Structure 1
């Protein structure tokens, strides 16, 4: 075990809340093990520090004459440059700040001049928006191997007029991906552009538009340890310049009369309203921090932790680990599994209440993929990243082993579709105004994700 985890004893970057303790149902408190970063990743400490430094200067962006407004404008445009650099933007590429990856994908969907081709393994944010594109969307069923999947894509591209091939940079269910270089070569051979959903990828691996030939990439701050409400779409400007603004409003207009409107050019065309300065600054700070890491060190760190987790899970009876392709390259730090005969939501609730481990359960906004895997009832997902430690993995494995052994200290029931502890004794944080933490979360939680 020690050799497997030799690269992963310590986090690569410090996270806000890394040493927070959480109460357990037996009265103890333990360090919180957060393995749900694939959904929402905690802020990097450096991101929080940057945000705190900027807040005293917060003011209107682009349209203020005051000194603080000028500083805010400079910070916003500096952030735009940093975010573009993070994904290797070409000199002519445009970087547009959005709310998140979903927002960015919907923006691009309104600009694609023809038909879009996607695989059925995608997150809903990389499936549903393309149905609104001018030429509609064609969804292709994934094949058992990477090679066969690329051949299937080639077959469609050669027979149909496709404007855009949209692929995930890394699956939010399995962490797997298609080889980007092969995808780009294939799409460009038949005159299609390539969009990469970078939501899961970019917290774990780098991507350069200039080096790869990818035409567009979108990603979210909350996936790359900058949870302040910003995302980005980066890529070729021509499709985006020729359409109506994604949002109509202040900042997107050069001149307006009673009869006509002249829209502005560049990223401002699609950034109507007051920009999210803090979100943009946070996203840029996260991009700079992640870029400072040695790529091989990140890969080794994740590989050690992921290998140990998969190895430990496969030692247990009745555990299956999800995989899309039998011949894919090593995935990023996302592991989805199920325990035969156990409701994933119940297992997740048990891990949190009795072991202080946060994981994700459900269908991960990837219903077609879960159905293809035969896991339509859901699964459990653990995500590993730059802030993860070896002891995090061991705590999760210990919790799953305890469940298998029948070692449980509490009773559980379903409320509004969510498993909760019966008569939960855990107090809420004293500094927060929350009356009933678990019950409130249960009442507000959607049951279809």
Structure 2
């Protein structure tokens, strides 16, 4: 089985940094094991290639007659079409390019004509923006079924405009039944928004088939870390709302006393857009579309099961879960290690083993509070993850529990670091007073 997983790792796609070597605090270097995909995924080769191809033609879009401008405009609008196909958007849904998921959700928050219902498990990006018109927080239960019953009560008590839910928890990776929730929301007279930042890199999504009204996701989690995101959704709310930003490109006509705003998507894309980011995101989506969805899910499932089994067998290691009956989970594993602060464990893994994980509260403070934790560790799996990486992580945690760290670690303002720190970090030369350049 290990050989099958490793072959899948190589065959799925090539990501930048898959051969990166990093320094160790005790001396020497090792190949970097990246378990921080849920924060930002490395770039797919197709995304970086698309940017390199477009760079010589980079120019302002939409109103330029020059050849480079025409090429840039074509690439930018073609990227919109790619996202429409990748997410299988319905005919009345439009693609608005943004900076990231947070930007997308804040944009939509200004368009919602009423209250929004959210769960208390959400990432801050899908929790904080809805205060503008009224936010109703529904506490999640210990099971998905009871959580859905609570959502129904929250939606049907009095009129609600929108149900905003995560596609996959950024802490535990647990997935909600989105098609079912879309049906429930519509039956209660509401629409549904899905924060797909963590779901889109792992699962194929059809807005048309699921009935999802609005979806937000980020390029930097979809293997295109070039600063672009998208909001995809029904046109009417977007056309009726005030523009997200007031400026050039969002208008049809301006006089000294009146502004005639353009319809969506241009209405919410004022200013010079991130052409390269949009092109990179489209290239990544094309690359992901070319991968068999079953192969993608199988690769992830095998590695996640291997990681969960390995961590569960270690005394003092607890895996985090929201629900006992989760129907599906993407490749995100959150855990704690008894007797060690999460930041100390993360620093140890990086400094002594060249392994990158995330620690903290993951911009989901209400969820961590529900779980009774001030912080935890998160290991997230992506296209570049192999079984050898999983075994390294499990082995490093075993060593920590059985023998403790080989180096000293201290926390300063909540940030854990090895003491002394022997690894170079600066990108300036040592003549400027910093560590030697490592790039």
Question: Aligning the two structures, in what range does the TM-score lie when normalised by the shorter sequence?
Answer: over 0.9
Separation in structure 2 between the aligned mates of residue 423 and residue 382 of structure 1, nearest angstrom: 26
Hey, what does 1:271 align to over in structure 2?
269
For residues 124-163 of structure 1, the aligned pairs below 5 Å read 124-132=124-132, 134=133, 136-163=134-161
8 Å contact 2:426–2:435 — kept in the other structure?
A: no
Q: TM-score, normalised by structure 2?
A: 0.96
The Cα of 1:429 is off from its aligned counterpart by 7.3
- For residues 192-203 of structure 1, the aligned pairs below 5 Å read 192-203=190-201
Q: Offset at 1:8?
A: 5.2
Farther off after superposition, 73-82 or 396-405:
396-405
Among candidates 359, 362, 375, match of residue 378 of structure 1? 375
In the alignment of these two chains, the number of paired residues is 435
Using the alignment, how far apart are the partners of 1:302 and 1:227 within structure 2? 21
Shift in CA distance, 69/184, structure 1 to aligned 2, threshold 3 Å: same
Q: What SS class does the counterpart of residue 162 from structure 1 fall into?
A: coil
Q: TM-score, normalised by structure 1?
A: 0.93
Paired position in structure 2 for 1:403: 400
Question: Which residue does 2:411 correspond to in 1?
Answer: 414
Contact 1:4 1:308 in 2 (8 A): no
Uncovered stretches (5+) of structure 1, i.e. residues with no partner = 439-449
In structure 2, what is the equivalent of residue 443 of structure 1?
A: none
- Segment drifting more, 356-365 vs 420-429: 420-429
Distance 1:5 1:71 in 2: 40
After TM superposition, the structure 1 = structure 2 runs for residues 183-262 of structure 1, keeping only pairs within 5 Å, are 183-262=181-260
* Counterpart residue number, 1:59: 59
Q: Distance in 1 between matches of 2:21 and 2:313?
A: 29
**Preserved contact between residue 35 and residue 384 of structure 1 (Cα < 8 Å):** yes
Cα contact 1:175–1:332 (8 A) shared by 2: yes
Q: CA deviation at 1:35?
A: 0.6
- 1:336–1:380 contact (8 Å) kept in structure 2: yes
Equivalent runs, 1:25-424 vs 2, <5 Å? 25-132=25-132, 134=133, 136-375=134-373, 377-424=374-421
Quick check: 1:15 aligned with 2:15? yes
Give the deviation of 1:299 after TM superposition.
1.0
1:282 to partner: Cα distance:
0.6
3-state SS of the aligned residue for 2:125? helix
SS of 2:391 mapped into structure 1: helix
Q: Does the Cα contact within 8 Å between 1:9 and 1:391 map onto a contact in 2? A: no
**Partner Cα separation in structure 1 for residue 90 and residue 435 of structure 2:** 47
| 3-state DSSP of counterpart to 1:232 | strand
- Structure 1 residue 415, shift from structure 2 partner: 2.5
Inter-partner Cα distance in structure 2 for 1:155 and 1:45: 47
Mapped contact 2:13–2:44 kept (Cα < 8 A): yes
Aligned structure 1 segments of 4 or more residues deviating by more than 3 angstroms: 1-11, 428-438
SS for the counterpart of 2:174 is coil
Aligned residues: CA RMSD: 1.8
Measured after TM superposition, the shift of residue 232 of structure 1 is: 0.2
Q: 8 Å contact 2:144–2:325 — kept in the other structure?
A: yes
TM-aligned CA deviation for residue 160 of structure 1: 1.6
* TM superposition shift of 1:411: 1.3
- Cα distance in 1 for partners of 2:293, 2:81 equals 21
Q: Deviations over 1:267-317 (max 9, x none)?
A: 111000101000000110111111111111111111111011111111111
Task: State the alpha-carbon separation in 2 of the partners of residues 5 and 37 from structure 1.
Answer: 18
Residue pair 2:2, 2:387 contacting (<8 A) in 1 also = no
Q: Go from structure 1 to structure 2 and tell me whether the alpha carbon gap of 1:436 and 1:311 turns closer, same or farther (over 3 Å shift).
A: farther
CA 1:437/1:418 → structure 2, altered by over 3 Å: closer, same or farther? farther
Once residues 378 and 110 of structure 1 are traced to their aligned partners in structure 2, the CA distance between those partners, rounded to angstroms, is 32
